Amino acid sequence: MTSVDRVVAVSLAAALLASTALTASAGVAVGFGGVEFEGDETAVFNENSEELPPGCEEVSGDADVTVSAASAGYGYPLFEYHPPSVEVDACERVTVTFESQTRVRHQWIVRGLPEDTYPDGYFGVEVDGATEESATFITPGEQVTLPVESSVGSQSESGLRGQVKVDGGDGDVDGIPGLTQHGWREADDGDGLPGSFYSGALGFLVGVALVAGGRWFDLI
């Protein structure tokens, strides 16, 4: 081993040890391998604290809401929002603080908002890792229930579903763990027989028909 090789080997070992120690101390994925990230990453989508949605003549009031995303254990649900249902007034300016109690990325996305005010009809907050972020939106000027979900991976199917009830809402969103759903959804079209069964049955019937026809006309 040359001196250069030794220097490289020592450097490698030192870097590995330093990185491992950094990882252990950081806990969450911040600078875990020597690269210094700026911190936990968060994002806000379509924040709006000024523009009034259709049906609103003025902001009816201000409210603060805190929602968290948490693991719920293995099985169903895997994740859940606390609280899953949020009650607000129409035309209310709502500041949402969304926090994650897990180590992975989550979102709190309110869908079904007026597209004139919210591009693509949604407002949301994203947090990556055990951190929090706040953002503000103004609720619609009508009595409505808006679905809430996380679009990350299959988190929505795994329990991250909720609702925002404006002025009491107009019903409950389907599929919220503990409120309107109590297990994995059962598909209504997943129990069909395999395609080969139908092919075999078709072949059987055609075979019977051919022979029966042949006998009927005294061909066989």
Partner 1 sequence: MNRVHGAFILTAGFLLLLALATSTAPVAADSVELECAFEHPEWRADFSASVMTVALEEDAVCMPDEPRGVGVSVLGANNAADSLMVETSLSERAVGKDQDMDGDGDYDVVDMELEITPVGERPEEVEAGSFYGWGSGDRRWLFAPKTRGVGVDDAAVRPPSPTLRFEEGGLAFIWVENHHRVSHEMDWGGVTVGTSRTPLSADDALHPGDSGMYTLRPSTPGVYIYRSTRNAADGHMGLGGLLIVEEDRPENQLQSYNVGGGKVRAPAASVDDAYDAEYDLVYGSRNHRVTEASEVHDDPDRVMEVAEQEGGAVDEHLLNGRSYPDTLKESLLVAEEGDRLRLNVGNVGVDDVTVASEAGDLSVYDYGTGEYSDVESVELAPGDAEQLRLKVGDVDEPRPIYVEEAGRYGDDAATTLVASPSSIEEGLPREVPFESSLGERDGEGVGSQASLFALSIGLLLGALTALAASVVLRRRRSMEVDV
Token couple for 130: 């055990």
Token couple for 41: 């990453």
Inter-CA distances, 61 with 42, 64, 90, 172, Å = 27, 10, 9, 24
Residue 101 as a binder of partner 1 (CB under 8 A): the answer is no
Task: Please identify, among the stretches 51-59, 87-95, 119-127, 135-143, the one whose residues bind partner 1 according to the rule CB under 8 A.
Answer: 119-127
Residue 60 as a binder of partner 1 (CB under 8 A): the answer is no
Q: Of 49 and 212, which CB lies nearer to partner 1 in the complex structure?
A: 212
- Supply the minimum distance, in Å, between the C-beta of residue 70 and partner 1: 10
CA distance 6 to 169: 70
3-state helix, strand, coil in the chain (%, to 5): 20, 30, 45
CA distance 45 to 1: 56
- Supply the minimum distance, in Å, between the C-beta of residue 39 and partner 1: 10
Q: Which residues in the 192-211 window bind partner 1 by CB under 8 A?
A: 194-197, 199-211
Count of residues in contact with partner 1, rule CB under 8 A? 85
Residue 161 as a binder of partner 1 (CB under 8 A): the answer is yes
Inter-CA distances, 25 with 14, 40, 150, 172, Å = 16, 15, 29, 44
- Supply the minimum distance, in Å, between the C-beta of residue 138 and partner 1: 17
Token couple for 159: 């329990």
CA distance 72 to 84: 13
- Supply the minimum distance, in Å, between the C-beta of residue 140 and partner 1: 11
The one among 76, 130, 134, 169 contacting partner 1 by CB under 8 A: 76
- Supply the minimum distance, in Å, between the C-beta of residue 132 and partner 1: 16
Q: Of 107 and 117, which CB lies nearer to partner 1 in the complex structure?
A: 107
Q: Which residues in the 130-149 window bind partner 1 by CB under 8 A?
A: 146-147, 149
CA distance 69 to 153: 15
Where do the H-state alpha helices sit in the chain? 3-26, 195-216
Interaction pattern, residues 19-58, with partner 1; x per rule: CB under 8 A: xx--x-----x--xxxxxxx--x-x-x-------------
